Each structure stands twice: as C-alpha cells, then as structure tokens.
Amino acid sequence: MHLVGCCIALAACADPGLGVAEDSIVNGQVDLADPGVVALTWNGRHFCSGTLISGRVVLTAAHCVPPNLPFEADPAKLEVYFGPRVGEDSSGFAAVVAATAHAAWTADGESDDVGLLALRDAAPVPAVPLPTTPLSDVDADAPVRVVGYGTTTPDATVAGAKHTGDARLGAVTGTSIHLAVDLAVTCRGDSGGPALMVRDGVEAIVGIHSRSDCAANAIDERVDRHLPMIAAFVAAHPAEPGPGPAAGCVADGACELVCATPDPDCTCADTNSCPSPPAGHAAGCAATPAAPRAPWMVVAIGALMASRRRRSATRRLRRATGTEGARR
C-alpha cells in the first residue's frame, strides 16, 4: 500500500478560470453546501483544502503550510477561497496573514500533520465545530463525511471543485484515523480538508485529510489530539483583529511564518532564509576563529624577531663608527 500526501504541486494545476475537474473526492458528488470548507490557493491556484474553525482561523494539514509546501511560495500570495469552485467569484478569496504547522511534523513522518492559517479579515461564513470529546475504539465503523477540492486520480491535472462523499471510521490509533472507505476516498488536493462526524447531534470536524492512495486507503490526522495547539492559535487570532500588526506576528514566543512584516520570533532556519556563510566564516554567522599556533611556531617566530633586532642594532652601530660596509 503506497500512500501519498494529498497536496497538489502547482506545476500540475490548470488555470482555475479555464475549467475545473467535474469530480474531486473519488466517487464523491458536487458539494454546494459546507461553506466552512475552503480551498487553499497560491497566486489564485488551488493546492490544498481546509476548514474554517473560528472567525479567522482555518485548520489544514502541516504539509499545506509554508515552508512545508512542495513548491516555492511567496507567503504574500497565499489565500483561501470560499465557494464551490475556485475562481468562480473573485470576491471569494481571503488573504492569509499568519500560518503555523505542528513543530513535530516531518515530510517522512506519519503523525502531527496539522497546520493553521489566520485570515486578515473575519470570514463571511460560520465556522465548523471542533470535537468536544476524544475519539475512541467505540467510534469504529461510525459514518463520516469527507470534503475537499482535490482530484479523482493521482494523475489528474485539474482540481478546484468542492465535492463530498461518505466513508467510515476505521482504526483510531495514536494521532491518526484510518478511514474505512465505502464509496468515497480522498485524493490529491484534498489534503487539509475535513472528515466530518455527527456526535451528540452536532456535525464536527474529527479528521484532517493527510495521506491517501486515491483508491481504497486514506489516513486523516485526529483533531482531538491537537486541541491545545488549536486553541492557542485561535486565541492569538481573534475574530476581530485589533489595529497594528496581525495578532501572533509580534514577539510572543511563537514563530508565525506568514506575516505582513517578519515575526521577530522567527529565525532564518524557520524560514529557510539563512544566507550562505562568507569565506572565513562558519555557518551560524559566527566568524571562524584562527587556529592556535603550535608551541614550536611561537618559539620560531620569537627567535626570528630577536635575530632581526640584533642585525638592526649592528647596522646602526657601524653607521655611527664609520665602519659600515667593512668586511671581516
């Protein structure tokens, strides 16, 4: 079984204004509802999905957040799109002012695939509820609904239409949910989108689309295992931002990767912007100290200096006595 991240590399994307795929989630159907499920776009093109969870915060996958993207992205061009088709209405784009990913996520890992985006302005639609109780083994086989803007096969080159489909919860292990696929399965471009489940009469987001083979296997990141991280980011980015720098883009001990001005908490290592060290300097911007001289070198230099001083004194004496140039 080969599972891949469900993020689209933009080199393979079609112009969203020239037509989008008629399918998205494999075996899904067009979704004209779920206004809180959004597309992540860069320079107007879709590459991932996400879910609005508060007035200004979108929950997505870590691999959908700079600098973890599989392409070089100017954070200033990162936006989310509200609506069933990316680019159908230019007013659907919303600017992103801050982004963060779980610090423990790695490209070759299988956990902690959770990221968060803060919008510049309050969202025009209601947020999707977060879970209030943790998942457990008793939730196995429970029906879930998957939503996203992705493709129908790994080889497809267009996406950007929101679709939804039915699946079931499979194994719940660690920080992951293995989806037992009945009809629908996530695919490329669905990354970061939600798995929605009705609990206590409320449909809430329980999973974040992470990896899939676009056929019969899909893994989501559990939302309930990351509620403290989510709550801290939501608190730092209230629904109505105050004047001045975006909340979170200040010296508060947390590095925000997408800000109007650089976050003072971020280092060049966080942003992959460390300059190459100049000649004679080591990485880390510290000058390379000169190697200490060996003892024998110090003695030799001292003897040479003493010899030069003796010869200089002898020449001065010969000039004073008129014997300079005489040979012995």
Band of residue 175 on the pLDDT scale cut at 50, 70, 90: very high
Q: What is the pTM of this model?
A: 0.70
- Main-chain dihedrals φ then ψ at residue 240, nearest 5 degrees: -115, 100
Question: Is CATH 3.40.50.300 the right assignment for the domain spanning 4-270?
Answer: no
CA 275 to chain centre: 21
**Cβ 57 vs Cβ 248: under 8 Å:** no
Where does 85-216 have alpha helices with state H?
A: none
Residue ranges of the domains in the chain? Answer: 4-270
Examine the pLDDT at 326 and tell me if it is beyond 70.
no
Read off the pLDDT of residues 37-95 as tens digits, 9 standing for 90 and up.
999 999 899 999 999 999 999 999 999 998 898 777 777 789 999 999 999 999 999 99
pLDDT category at 11 given cuts 50, 70, 90 is very low
Strand ranges inside the chain, DSSP E:
4-5, 29-30, 37-42, 45-52, 57-60, 78-81, 93-101, 115-119, 143-148, 163-173, 176-180, 194-199, 202-212, 217-222, 281-282, 286-287
Using only C-alpha atoms, the chain has a radius of gyration, in whole angstroms, of: 30
In DSSP terms, 52 is beta-bridged to 58
* pLDDT of the residue at 191: 94
**pLDDT digits 0-9 by tens, 131-162:** 999 999 889 899 999 999 988 666 776 678 99
Whether 120 contacts 168, CB under 8 Å: no
Average confidence (pLDDT) over 231-258: 71
If one compares 278 and 67, the residue with the highest pLDDT of the two is 67
- And the tokens for 93? 């784009």
Q: How confident is the model at residue 257 (pLDDT cuts 50, 70, 90)?
A: low
